[in-house]
Amino acid sequence: MKVNSKSKKVNKTWLNQHVNDPYVKLAQKEGYRSRAAYKLQEIDEQLHLVRPGSTVVDLGSAPGAWSQYLRRRLSPQGAAAGALDGTLIALDILPMEPIEGVQFLQGDFREDEVLAQLQQIVGGRAVDLVVSDMAPNLSGIASTDAVRIAHLIELAVDFAIHHLTPDGALVVKLFHGSGYDALVALFRQHFRQVKTFKPKASRDKSAETFLVGLGVRPPPA
């Protein structure tokens, strides 16, 4: 059996970079399930998105680092367990290990039935913040992947504008490439302020960026 030495070398290089990544080490030290927590932390620290008493929805939550960060922010003492001053609802197509105080729904956000279940859990509460780290399984075909990414973001925007308070916010992950400008335009259509972020915890080689919409525009008369 032949072994692809180039692929083996790439995997070894990635593993070495991952193990020595300062954010990976920090996540292990602070009890986060992944380094992704620090991406949301940087955005939150700049924009003050999470406030006491907030209702927050975390889309694409597994393995749970964003939900962990959010629950600590909603805890009066910033603790990983105990009292929670607010409501935190998480959803993912993958299973997620429980996080104290987080209501988790496993299902595909693209399915109407799952979306209806999420809306039922939210109930009549106005949502203060929606965060989405959702990403589809990438095929490697740029045009196909762009459509899949755009679809998830469009669903997140639609959910947000129908559930957010007038001063609420939406954070999504997206990728530079085909369809990027159209998604920025979609945000500008529905939010009063739109900001882009490339957090320090996001690897330099990654095409990912984060888009934040602040304040929902009222629907046209």
Binding-site positions read: 64, 66, 92, 108, 133
Report helix angle 37-47 to 65-74, nearest 10: 40
Residues designated as active site: 173
> Annotated binding site for S-adenosyl-L-methionine: which residue ranges?
64, 66, 92, 108, 133
Say how far residue 209 (Cα) sits from the centre of its chain: 11
The pair of structure tokens assigned to 41 is: 């932390």
Say how far residue 92 (Cα) sits from the centre of its chain: 11
